[in-house]
Each structure stands twice: as C-alpha cells, then as structure tokens.
Structure 1
Amino acid sequence: MTIKTAPYKVAKEFVQQLVCFAREQGMPVDTVLSRAGIELGALEGQPAYVSGPILERYLAAMLKMVPDPLPGLYASRWRVATFFGLVGFLAQTSSTLGVMLNTLVQVEPLVGDTGKTRIHHVPGEIVVSWHCQFTNPDVLSHASDFILSTFVGCITSAARPGVSVVRSVHLQHAAPEQAELLQRYIDVFGCPVYFGESENRIVLPNDVFDLPLPGADPQLHEMLENHARKLMEERTKASRFVDLVRSRLHQQLQAGAASREALAAEFGMSGRTLHRKLQDDGTSYREILDELRLQRARKLLVESDLSIQQVGELSGFDEGQSFTRWFRQLTGNSPSEFRHRC
C-alpha cells in the first residue's frame, strides 16, 4: 500500500465555524484548541488556510467531548451557508440541482483540499463521491457522515414533498452495532444506507439534475461566482510561496539538516520575516515541518520494514518515545497502530 503524501489544507473560515459550533454546544473550546495545538488568534485576519493535520487534531479532540455518538450527522443540521460561507451561499442560490453540484465541485478549493468531490454519470444514475485525506479513522468516519448528510440535505430540500431523490448512500466506515444508531442513518438520509463500501458516495437518478431549487437567484449567483473566482486566484498566488518553502524544507529534511534560520536565509530574509509571511498565508514553519515529517514517517511505516526507532530517527527524532508521542498527537494512533491498520 502506498501512502498519499500530498499536503492538504482547509479554509480558516471553516475552522472558525467549527469553533462557533463547539461554543454553541457548550463545549470547552479553549481546551479543545489547546489539545489540537491551535491558537485562536491565528484564525483571525485575512482569509487563508489552516493545514489539514491541524484541523484533524482539532476534530479528534472535539470528538472526545461530544455527547452525541454520531456527531457528524448531528452537525449536518447546521445551516450549510453558515458552515461553508461563500460556497454554501452559491449552493443555495443555484437554479437547478445540476448547477448546484457542478458549482460545488468548481469552488470546493475555497473550503480547502482536505476532501475532494467528484461527479460522474453511469447508465441511469449520477454518482457523487467524496474522498478525504484524513488519517484518523474516527475523524474520517464522522467527517464522511457530516459531508454526505449535508449533501443529501441540500439535494432533498430541492425536491417536492413525497418525491424520492436519493437512491442510496454508501459509506466506507463500518455500520454501528446499536440498532437505534443504524436507524438514525436511515432517518437522516431517507434512503438505503450501505456500510463498508469502497468509497463514500451518493447515488441519484439521472433526471434530478434539472430539478429547480427553491432559493434560485441567478443574478446573485453570478455575483457570488465572480467573487469566488477572484478569491481562488488570490489564494492560489498566496499559496505559491508556501509551496516553495515546503519544497526547500523538504530538501533540508532529506539532507538531515532542517533549520528555520537556514531556510529563511535561502529566501534572503530573517527568521522573523519568514514567520510573518507564513502566518499571513495561514501556516507556520512548525506546521510545515510537522507535515513533512509526518509524510515521511507514514511512508516509511507502510513501505519499509524499519523499526519504529529507525523510522523516528529518519523523521528527525533522536528518541523513540518522543517520536511515538508526537505521532500519536498528530494522528490519534501510535506508529505501531498505524502500521498495523495499513
């Protein structure tokens, strides 16, 4: 098995909405953020991104405090526009279901690239699939519940009462053991739900693409689309510097000599200036370093027979215990557990 090592990220606005959601549920947000290693102040300022692993740590910490056993299904009752900002409003103002789905795929980068939505047609059906880069199995399961139930909520809200729109929902994670929890899935999705599938997907009949949406507003939708395009262009430019930093730091790690000051010197700036520029783009030297180390560690754990101690050393750690503690904090699993799962 080959581990995908591409970096992934999520928009700050989405993380801010998750924080608001947690506060409204009466959860100790400061504790959750502290466990995830997130500074609330870092979520303020200009729109940018938070690294995917940081979000995953936040969700892992939050899940331990949520009393509902199916938090993904519960959170999907939140208004789409609230959680997804501009992307949500684009969905609400679309003229037809087909326009909504295609628009969501086009502007999905505004939310981030932690998840990827695809639409493809098969005879008589439309398949909407969602692939996620999370590695923590609990986070991945509940995130899949949230995204697919949100999609289904958007789709069914466009249908006339009594009209069946969604044929089936397929989830990668296992079915819950309790009968009452299994019934909740059926109640939320309103259609047959299958577990242990090869991918997370929703199956629709072909003719629903032309289904009109109740909130259609062509003029507002066009304005929002233009704004979305400009935002994506701006964020693409901002991310180029981060990608360059990531590439140079990767080279340093390969050579066994990663240093923030040395990295800053390569760009002709001080360490403080490098920190500020990365912060403006929604990340930090530490986040990128952790991201690259984690990519290397995962790859070695799965594709080699090296001991945990050796993997830790090649990932930049002198002590095996420090490596194990760091790996568990970022993924929710020990290196041995991760290797066993893969």
Structure 2
Amino acid sequence: MYVLSECMEDFGLKQDEWLAGSSISAIDSNLIEELVDFGTFRHLALRAAEMANNPTIGLAIGQRLSLHSHGILGYAALNSATLRDAANLIESYISIRMPLVDVRSQSIDDNFVLMVEEKEPLGDVYQFLFDGLLLTLKNALLQLLPQLREHITVHFKTAPHPNFPYQSVFGDAVKFNEPFAGLSGPEHFMETAIPHANALAFQEAESLCRKAFEQIVQEHPLTTKTKKKLLEAPGQFPTLEVLASYFNMTPRTLHRRLKSEGTSYKQILDDVKLSLALAYLADSEMSIKEIAYFLGYDELSNFRRAFKRWHGTTPSEYRATQRDETS
C-alpha cells in the first residue's frame, strides 16, 4: 500500500481522497511491512485506477519494487546460493508478503517455470495485482542473475492493455492469453550460483521468514480453515453448525473464536460468495440466474441486492464492464 500511495503522489492525486471510505486514515513508511485485508486492498486498488484514470497502475507499482522492497523475504532471496534456492524460498514464504497468491516452481521440458496462482478468485483486481506481481518477479530474477535478461519469458493469462509499451518494460519475450501466469526460462539457470550470496545471512533470514509465516498461520487459524472449507463446497456451503462439527467444537465456540480473530461466519461467507461471483461473472458462460442459484440464492433479486451491497454495482453491470475490457 505504501508503494501504491507513492504512485498516487506521482499522479498528483491526494491521499485523503484516495483513502476515503477505507479502513486506513493515512499511509506512511511505517506501513511498508503491514498486510491489509482483501476488502481494503480491493477498494484502494480500484480507487487508485479510477482516480488516476490509468488501468496500468499495477505495472507502475511493479516497476518500483525490487527485492529490497520485500523485507526479510527479499533479503533471504538475495543471499540464496542458487536461483533454485531462491525459487523454493519464494514458493514457501510468499504469503508473508502477498497472502493472496501461491507460487509454484516446476520443470517443464528444459525450462524452469514459476507459476503464480490466485488462492481464491480475485475478480476485478486480478489484472491489477498480477500486472505488478509478474513485473516484480521478473525484476527480482534479474536482480539475482542479470544474465537472465535475454532468457526470461513472462506469461500473462490476461490480454494486454491497449497501447502499453510492453516491450520497453518486459523485452520481446512476453506472452498474453496464456494458460498460466508466471515466468519461464532455461532450466540450467536454476543451478547457477547467485553472486554475493551469504550462507549464514540466508540461514538467519530464512529462519525469520519461517517465524513470520508461522505467526500469520497462528493469528488467523480458524478464519483460514473456515474459508478453505467454504471454498471446497461452492453451491453447498456448510452452515455454521456443520463447520463447528468439522472443527470438533460447538457453534457458539466457533462463533466466539472467529470473533476473536476479527471476523464472523457471515463475513467470511460473504467474502467467499463475492469472490466466486466475480469470477463466474467475468470468466464463465453461466447466466446470472444460474450463478445466483449456484451461490445458494433461491431468488435472483436477493442475489442482485447482495452483490450490489458488496460491490456497488449490479451483477449485469459488472459482467458488462468485464466483457467491454476483454473485447
């Protein structure tokens, strides 16, 4: 959020107007290491793109970020012995910097592939987030091994932004409408030694990454488990009572525990329904009535009201804007 706020300043936009309606009153350098919830992130990302009248603002953020911007995870990556060690590190601990995505490292033919996947549907902020994230990852790999510059291919699942100078930012090897989002390059680079790596510094930094990861898991264990259970059964969401039985506790105890984590069953269910609705409206051929029924609404009007409460637009308006952007 701090880097995004700097971009807003570059566009000559006022921070207080950008933050209006969010849970954050001001952003300064003290927030660099802070994570924000998805609702706040989504609100501020969309607000930034709207105020700047610039749908490529995610790429502007990616251009600003380096490994030094990513705290202890970036420091650990810089001190990794090889690119494979750095990739494994990012795969294990990406959630301490970006909890909305997973990174998977694998070999396909003679290439390494770093695949980036959303943990749950991101809907209308998918392209904003992945624009910045893929550019950040590319810059990170070049920071570790500058000789990769002519060998990295960047893969976008989305179509390109019209008139954006991709070649000047990414080089010639950038592909769109791909089956996955991520980066790829020759496999042999994975075993290349990273210059100036320090084994002791890596061990200390990796230990701090592990502690940060464990802290995140411990702070919101039931919220994470509840969301996971709900996403496992779209269209047949388990009730509070059924979830409580999964977790071997009473419904009252589950309610109390979720409240202590700053949320509730209803809030988590609404978040899951919204993320699924955004994905189905943007990427499926299901009718709005079918989506409403799939998400557990007997009446289409109830789904319309709920979606407008969550998103500020109707389902049909949102679907129309998504199709306009991809046409």
TM-score relative to the length of structure 2: 0.73
Q: Which amino acid aligns with 1:202?
A: L
Instruction: Confirm or deny that 1:106 pairs with 2:92.
Output: yes
Alignment partner of 2:274 out of 281, 289, 294? 294
CA contact (8 A) 2:5 2:27 kept: no
Deviation at 1:123, TM superposition (A): 1.8
SS in 2 for 1:172: coil
CA contact (8 A) 1:152 1:166 kept: no
Structure 2 equivalent of residue 258 of structure 1: none
Q: Which amino acid aligns with 2:274?
A: L
The separation in 2 between residues aligned to 1:225 and 1:192, in whole angstroms, is 32
Structure 1 equivalent of residue 315 of structure 2: 335
The separation in 1 between residues aligned to 2:297 and 2:38, in whole angstroms, is 23
Unaligned stretches of 5+ in structure 1?
1-14, 255-263
Structure 2 equivalent of residue 11 of structure 1: none
Q: Which amino acid aligns with 1:291?
A: D
Q: Which amino acid aligns with 1:125?
A: N
Structure 1 equivalent of residue 245 of structure 2: none
TM-score relative to the length of structure 1: 0.70
The separation in 1 between residues aligned to 2:296 and 2:149, in whole angstroms, is 56
Unaligned stretches of 5+ in structure 2?
231-236, 243-249
Q: Which amino acid aligns with 1:188?
A: V
Deviations 1:119-177 (A, max 9, x none): 1102211111112245334x32232221111111122233356x645342221111233
SS in 1 for 2:203: helix
Deviation at 1:317, TM superposition (A): 11
Alignment partner of 1:185 out of 159, 166, 183? 166
Between 1 and 2, higher relative CO (CA 8 Å, sep ≥ 6) is seen in 1
Map 1:249-328 to 2 at 5 A.
251-252=239-240, 266-267=252-253, 277-279=260-262, 287-288=267-268, 290-294=270-274, 306=289, 314=297, 322-328=305-311
Instruction: Confirm or deny that 1:171 pairs with 2:156.
Output: yes
- Percent of pairs with identical residues: 18
SS in 1 for 2:213: helix
Counting matched residue pairs gives 304
Alignment partner of 1:234 out of 215, 219, 228? 215
Structure 2 equivalent of residue 222 of structure 1: 203
The separation in 2 between residues aligned to 1:297 and 1:253, in whole angstroms, is 24
Deviation at 1:193, TM superposition (A): 1.5
Deviations 1:231-288 (A, max 9, x none): 222221221243477679962599xxxxxxxxx9913998xx975x334xxx578853
Map 1:48-67 to 2 at 5 A.
50-66=36-52
CA contact (8 A) 1:86 1:224 kept: yes
Alignment partner of 1:74 out of 36, 52, 60? 60
Instruction: Confirm or deny that 1:149 pairs with 2:132.
Output: no
The separation in 2 between residues aligned to 1:118 and 1:55, in whole angstroms, is 23
